[in-house]
Amino acid sequence: MDSLSVDHLTGIKNLTEHDIQLIFKTADSFKEVINRSIKKVPSLRDITIANLFFENSTRTRLSFELAEKRLSADVVNFSAASSSVKKGETLIDTVNNILSMKVDMVVMRHPNPGAAKFLSERVDARVINAGDGTHEHPTQALLDSYSIREKLGSVKGKKVVIVGDILHSRVALSNIYCLQKLGAEVMVCGPTTLIPKYIHELGVKVEHDLIKALEWCDVANMLRIQLERQDIKYFPSLREYSMQYGLTKKILDQLSKKIVVMHPGPINRGVEITSDVADSDQAIILDQVENGVAVRMAVIYLLASKIERQ
């Protein structure tokens, strides 16, 4: 059986193009499964997965849980807000206690960059990063590129602009790695204060004018302003940000071509995109969510195939 080059999914940076294509090919089969009347396969009946969420989540948490259940894995959920982390327990103690209950795989979202890699080096279980601070969100990038491939036939040669709060975004970094490995051209667009100074080292174009960026691209991935990660003011007000970088239907309709609009969610309607854009036929936001389940099933299935079973 064809297999991934990695034992854990801690980021896109250390995946090969072959790994990504293998995940997509496997996700194609699972997408067919989740659209059947019986949406379940018995593949992981002997596997137990713990979902550890030390940060808030709606889409990623539900999508992983659904993917695990569609594969017939046993699932346990942990949320930091209602756990003994509040009593001072460390990450490693929390995880080791969970692993002693014979857990094979851990899906973890954590506020600290590098938390998933740290864990993968210390526990005897497969680890999947569900978002580590401002670092990476690998399954989001995989489902984003998978959705572009589905909509436009391939990712290779496509021009993708990522708009908004690049500085605080794990989605942006993982998308840049994933799109480039698949042969896309990548641009970032936003106010200077929200574009990291090291961005040129990543080989992406930078544009501060939204209309120019949209005229250049085939796909625009509109990011949320992450106020929860901003300790200082990066722009005068949300209203001003929205006037310069918010995508409206009027702007979309004035472009010389029809572009695809994406958003990882959660959307702040009226800030980065208006409701008529989010709900338009150019937006593939709900396709991204649907594809997230198939892509996560593929990642879990491929990593589980590396677990030695008795």
Options 13, 59, 69, 151; binder of ligand CP; rule CB under 6 A: 59
Nearer to ligand CP, 138 or 190 (CB): 138
Active site residues: 59-60, 87, 109, 137
CB of 61 to ligand CP, least distance (A): 6
What's the rounded Cα separation, in Å, for the pair 115 and 136? 10
* Residue list 267-296, contact with ligand CP (CB under 6 A): none
* Residue list 165-194, contact with ligand CP (CB under 6 A): none
Do the Cβ atoms of 247 and 271 come closer than 8 Å? no
Nearer to ligand CP, 167 or 285 (CB): 285
CB of 42 to ligand CP, least distance (A): 27
Is 227 one of the binding residues for ligand CP (CB under 6 A)?
A: no
The amino acid sitting at 152 is L
Alpha-carbon 131 to chain mean position: 7
CB-based closest residue to ligand CP: 60
Nearer to ligand CP, 137 or 181 (CB): 137
Which residues does residue 161 pair with via DSSP β-bridges, in sequence order?
187, 220
CB of 59 to ligand CP, least distance (A): 4
Size of residue set near ligand CP by CB under 6 A: 10
* Residue list 102-131, contact with ligand CP (CB under 6 A): 131
CB of 282 to ligand CP, least distance (A): 20
Nearer to ligand CP, 65 or 104 (CB): 65
Nearer to ligand CP, 33 or 267 (CB): 267
Return the residue matching tokens 């960059």: 113
* Residue list 232-271, contact with ligand CP (CB under 6 A): 264-266
Options 3, 5, 35, 58; binder of ligand CP; rule CB under 6 A: 58
Is omega for the bond preceding 113 within 30 degrees of 0, making it cis? Answer: no
* Residue list 136-155, contact with ligand CP (CB under 6 A): 137, 140
- Site stretch for ligand CP (CB under 6 A), options 58-66, 99-107, 113-121, 183-191: 58-66
Q: What does R_g of the chain's alpha carbons equal in angstroms?
A: 19
Nearer to ligand CP, 79 or 305 (CB): 79
Q: Interface with ligand CP by CB under 6 A: which residues?
A: 57-60, 131, 137, 140, 264-266
